Structure 1
Amino acid sequence: MDTGFLSNLLLVVESGSMAEAARRVGVTPAAIAQQIQALERELGVALVMRAGRTVIPTEAGQRVVERARSLVRGFDELKALAQEQEMGGELRVGTITSALLSVLPDVLARFAAAFPQVKLLIRAGTSTELFEALQRGEVDVAICLHPAFALPKSYDWHLLREEPIVVLAPARFARADPHELLRREPFIRYDRALGGGKQADQYLRRAKIAPRELFELNSLMAIALMVDRGLGVSLVPDIGTPLTKGLRLARLPLPEETEPRRFGILWSRASTRSRVIGGMIECSAEVLRR
């Protein structure tokens, strides 16, 4: 039985879509369907079925999925153990999108130069999704916001960056009062389902500011572009991305103290890829020192 086929079955069940699973691994949906059919022939049972537009496991498929997770994780750990001495193999990295837009490309470039024998597999998601993927063994390391809860002792955390919450406004408002802007100008809200959006919402509540909300977005780059076009102002983490250098933006510090957004590297202490993860942390430290 091909463990790669089992791994892709898990992706189908997780995403509810053969097309999405195919997109994540870079193959066609037809190839994913053929792999699942091969598993079904080998096991003698139907593993998935359609419920509207979603693909869900059958009763037998659910039993297989529960066991397949540990089998796939065990095989990955065995392969990593065999390759650990050479610092080779794969490193599965889950990351929040804003890290991909700021410091992470430099870190990955440094890591790829230092460890060319390691293949990096990058997966984007929210911090909550990445922590859950780490718990399930689907990623080796998560670059995410520090969880709002106390981390289990079985996990380690390395801070990469602290980002202050700022008022993002068109450049012509560079000398304006940030609170007055939030009250007066149309407001482009950062998604409250995300860590930085929650922090911004908490600040507005503490400051007793009820902004004139225009819309709510989960993309910091989209927000920056709309602020540049004069559509309104926003309250966001200052991610320091080079992609906004050409935009006419003002970043105004808040008059009241607030916690910065913190993101870093999270991994399991029991990971068989600990030496490779340590190499990524070293590369991160070198990039951030520069």
Structure 2
Amino acid sequence: MDTRQLRTLIAISAHGTFAQAAKVVGLTPSAVSQQMFALEQELGAALFDRSSRRPKITSQGMQVIELAKDFLRMEEDAKAALSGHRIAGKLMLGSVRSSALNLLPRAIVEMRHRYPALTANLRVSLSSPLIDDVASGRLDAAVVAEHLRIPPALRWSPFLREPLWLIAPKGSGIRDPLKLLNKKPFVRFRSPVPLANLIDTEISRWGVVTQDIAEIDTIGSIVSCVRQGLGVSVVPHVALQEPDHKELDLLPFGEPQVHRQIGIVERTVSPRSEIIARLHEVLAQLCGEHGVDRP
């Protein structure tokens, strides 16, 4: 088994056919077939179901593909380390589907400018599966909000501590947050993430029974609905950076004003720790006055 066979197998998985994979890896279709046959013989497993006109990858084949991706990534990292390029290789990242996505793509682009030998792969999911994937090594790091369930083998380092704002359409005329929440329709952030729980907990602490007019699971959509006059809501500071968001009235949410934190979770012992530290630095810089330095 060699890396050429593994790269070909991954190409077949990505492009669907031996013929398309052959174009990608620079071989003839017959050479691709020979490579795959040799790999199956060596592993003693059928990687393809050839009973149909287009061979289909078997469950065993899918297992080998996942192992191949890990192996090729380790090979890439080893070459980068041995060549002296420490900020190089592929960084496997995850992120929650929230306003954090306003920051992470910009940070990845900045890292690419600073370190041309570094590439990144981004996957978006919920906090819990992302944390599990970091712990298992499927991801190098993930951007998640402050979370209660961080395993001992991981560390979470905040790069953002930002205030939450009660937002209303421009010209609402009410400057008391409690009156605003009691009198105006409320657009609720409904999502299985820590931010939603943080908002709901503070509203309950105030004893407010909101007049819910909508339940929405993305912060950007909530801001848009409020700007168009649907109701009022609560959002983090990072969601209010676009120029058209100046059309909103902002009031501090909470007494004292509630803040939420977002950070990077990574393994405490990781070969990518230096790269992740540089990423943390870039993210903190992008957060401006609300950025948090790495401890």
TM over 0.5: yes
Aligned counterpart, 2:264? 265
C-alpha deviation, 1:3, in angstroms: 6.2
Does the 8 Å CA contact 1:94/1:143 hold for their aligned counterparts?
Answer: yes
1:219-277 deviation per Cα after TM superposition (whole angstroms, max 9, x unaligned): 11111110011001112222244335455112211342364211011111332222222
Aligned counterpart, 1:79? 76
Q: Secondary structure at the match of 1:225?
A: helix
Aligned counterpart, 2:101? 100
Task: Give aligned pairs, total.
Answer: 257
The whole-number CA distance in structure 1 between the counterparts of 2:132 and 2:121 is 17
The whole-number CA distance in structure 2 between the counterparts of 1:98 and 1:128 is 17
Matches within 5 A, 1:250-261: 250-257=249-256, 259-261=258-260
Aligned counterpart, 1:158? 157
Aligned counterpart, 2:132? 132
1:148-205 deviation per Cα after TM superposition (whole angstroms, max 9, x unaligned): 23x3332232211112222111121264321222122111111241221111111122
C-alpha deviation, 1:94, in angstroms: 1.4
TM-score, normalized by length of structure 2?
0.72
Aligned counterpart, 2:46? 44
Does the 8 Å CA contact 2:219/2:239 hold for their aligned counterparts?
Answer: no
Bigger Cα displacement from structure 2, 247-256 vs 261-270: 247-256
What stretches of structure 1 of length at least 5 have no aligned partner?
A: 10-26, 48-57
Does the 8 Å CA contact 1:170/1:249 hold for their aligned counterparts?
Answer: yes
Please tell me the residue identity of whatever aligns with 1:191.
Answer: R
Please tell me the residue identity of whatever aligns with 1:144.
Answer: V
Would the alpha carbon gap of residues 4 and 161 (structure 1) be closer, same or farther in structure 2, given more than 3 Å must change?
Answer: farther
Matches within 5 A, 1:279-290: 279-288=278-287
Does the 8 Å CA contact 2:227/2:245 hold for their aligned counterparts?
Answer: no
Q: Secondary structure at the match of 1:138?
A: coil
Which one of the candidate residues 6, 25, 29 is aligned to 1:2? 6
Q: Secondary structure at the match of 1:215?
A: strand
TM-score, normalized by length of structure 1?
0.73
Aligned counterpart, 2:203? 204
Please tell me the residue identity of whatever aligns with 1:94.
Answer: G
Matches within 5 A, 1:193-232: 193-232=192-231
The whole-number CA distance in structure 1 between the counterparts of 2:179 and 2:8 is 56
What stretches of structure 2 of length at least 5 have no aligned partner?
A: 22-32, 50-56, 290-295
Aligned counterpart, 2:179? 180
C-alpha deviation, 1:74, in angstroms: 4.6
The whole-number CA distance in structure 1 between the counterparts of 2:173 and 2:162 is 19
1:112-142 deviation per Cα after TM superposition (whole angstroms, max 9, x unaligned): 2211111122222222232123233332121
